[in-house]
Amino acid sequence: MTERPTGRPTGRPTGRRRVLILGGTGEAVALAEALAGRADVTYSLAGRTDAPRLPPGVAVRSGGFGGAAALAGWIEAGRIDAVIDATHPFADIIAGNAEAACRRAGTLRLKLLRPGWEARTGDIWHAAGSVADAARLIPETGGNVFLAVGRQQLAAFAGAAAGSGRQFLIRTVDLLTAAPFAGAVCVTGRGPFSVQEEAALLREHAIGCVVSRNAGGPSSYAKIAAARSLSVPVIMIDRPPPPPGDCAADVEGALDWLRQRLG
Ligand code: NAP
């Protein structure tokens, strides 16, 4: 019979609770590091990046589970006590799957979600409700465009680029094998970057508009600060709403939640 979490320790041979961390963010790595040796942690990645940052001292798995039902099966088979969804704020498919899977398996779940950025004096932000919205706003700006979005969103900007005469700068960790559309200029780089580095990039490519998702957190904020320092407008894409349920804003909050819920 599948053991279900009750909120109390279950007396396993190791005496440790089993925690699945859905990762791919700095917070996920930090949380896994903090839990290593105190819980049986499995750190899960989608497997999209060639050399991802991995937390030492925990089990790592890579690749999709095959949807919410399969994830529920994985959680049950692994007798997981709690799932921490520490995926990126824009990774909404896995977030929804985690919510559905944990509901189905009767397993505790927490969304670890860093707060979004807020505009400050000097910022020139245009709010976009979606990636498609952001693409529609581009003609209202001038100069070249720095597309600081995920790979899967790039295609949505092909129409805005077509015939615009503007370059669309795309920076990825792993080299793209082909430019996703005409007018795209691809460079590689792994952050975090300093504000000075980002300002130099914006100047070098004559960027007149940055398109960014409101990822929050310090690690990718430098481009926003650099845009502010150069009075470059930013089309800021809102986050998708998180699934219902418990939420923590940082690693400490997630550790507190685990202490309270698992003992
Ligand atoms: P997504 O669209 O929400 O998820 C797509 C599919 O990828 C999911 O249905 C799931 O496949 C698989 N998946 C996603 N995260 C997984 C994980 N941690 N472990 C196992 N499978 C996972 O996700 P995404 O936006 O492509 O992001 C993929 C990963 O990159 C996430 O782990 C995220 O934290 C990280 N990341 C994303 C961004 C971003 O901009 N979105 C930025 C930095 C890092 P199955 O349905 O087959 O289970």
Whether 248 is in the pocket of ligand 1, judged by its Cβ within 6 Å, is no
Instruction: Say what the pLDDT of residue 177 is.
Output: 87
Low-confidence ranges of the chain (pLDDT < 50): 1-11
Q: CA–CA separation, 19 vs 199, rounded Å?
A: 40
3-state secondary structure of 144: strand
Whether 193 is in the pocket of ligand 1, judged by its Cβ within 6 Å, is no
Q: CA–CA separation, 33 vs 43, rounded Å?
A: 10
Instruction: Say what the pLDDT of residue 8 is.
Output: 35
Instruction: Say what the pLDDT of residue 3 is.
Output: 36
Whether 243 is in the pocket of ligand 1, judged by its Cβ within 6 Å, is no
Which amino acid belongs to residue 173?
V
- 164 φ/ψ angles, rounded to the nearest 5 degrees: -80, -20
Ligand 1 atom 38: the closest Cα is on which residue? 88
> Residue 87 C-alpha to ligand 1 middle, in angstroms?
7
3-state secondary structure of 94: helix
Whether 94 is in the pocket of ligand 1, judged by its Cβ within 6 Å, is yes
Instruction: Say what the pLDDT of residue 254 is.
Output: 98
The minimum-distance atom of ligand 1 relative to the CA of 86 is 34
> Residue 64 C-alpha to ligand 1 middle, in angstroms?
8
